[in-house]
Amino acid sequence: MPPGTSRDNCLLPLLKATASTTGSDVRIVTISSVAEKFAPRHNAFATTKDLSDPGTTDPNDYTSRKTVFSRYGASKLANLLFTRELQRRLDEEDANIMALAVDPGPVATDGGMGVFPGFLKPVLKLVMKSPERGALTQLYCATAKEVANEPENYKGRLLTAPGKTNMGSDRSRNSELARSLWRITEEALRTVGI
């Protein structure tokens, strides 16, 4: 890495350079979820402390499932706010890049089922999507011609199925909250030398 170059700026300049070429189609897809609505109301992403939630780390502690979902919701809200703020910044610079967020829905992966007690997992596998089906919306966001042809319908949006956008919660559309999240994330990255 050249002197004076920070790691957090290495990929975006490359994406912008690619986007400036004729016929380019550059997209940034972030995984989020409609579960962002479970984010704790008190978290305003005002300080770097708001990026931390100790919650539980014990998978057998079923009394704290609410804490797990709260922490999960906060992470998905942050991902959605990030996507919307990134799109705003890209549009401000007239960068021909599209940022989208995806909710793959309930997918039967180890991570997706990790918050549930073991006895429920066989039943959940029957009602949850396979990992292959769970990837369809991400693939749509990354490759569909409709997304490239109708950018105003997709820029900064959350998709819950191929071609299906979702408004998300009022908090996920709060531009001040998105800017604050961006600011404290930059602060947190600086403190670890990135």
Known active-site residue 72: yes
Catalytic residue among 62, 72, 140, 154: 72
The residue assigned the tokens 């502690």 is 61
Q: What positions carry a catalytic annotation? A: 72
